[in-house]
Amino acid sequence: MEQLTEEERKRIIESPPVGTFALMSVVLGGMVVAWLFLYYGVFLPRG
């Protein structure tokens, strides 16, 4: 683990969680794609 200065710690803590936004976007996007696949690829073809 790196030794951080107090300024670096403060910057990290107060920075927006961009990685979280990116990860959540990927997950939610994946869910939408999977739902659409199931709806149009499996559900509707079964009539």
Residues from 2 through 21 that contact other proteins (CB under 8 A): 2, 4, 9, 12-15, 17-20
Of 5, 7, 23, 29, the one binding other proteins (CB under 8 A) is 23
43 counts as binding other proteins under rule CB under 8 A: yes
Taken in order 18, 19, 22, 24, the sign of the CA dihedral is: negative
Q: For 1-47, where are the alpha helices, taking DSSP H only?
A: 6-14, 18-36
Could you give the dihedral angle defined by the CA atoms of residues 32, 42, 44 and 40, in that order, rounded to the nearest 10 degrees? 30
Residues that bind other proteins (CB under 8 A): 1-2, 4, 9, 12-15, 17-20, 22-24, 27, 31, 34-35, 38-39, 42-43, 46
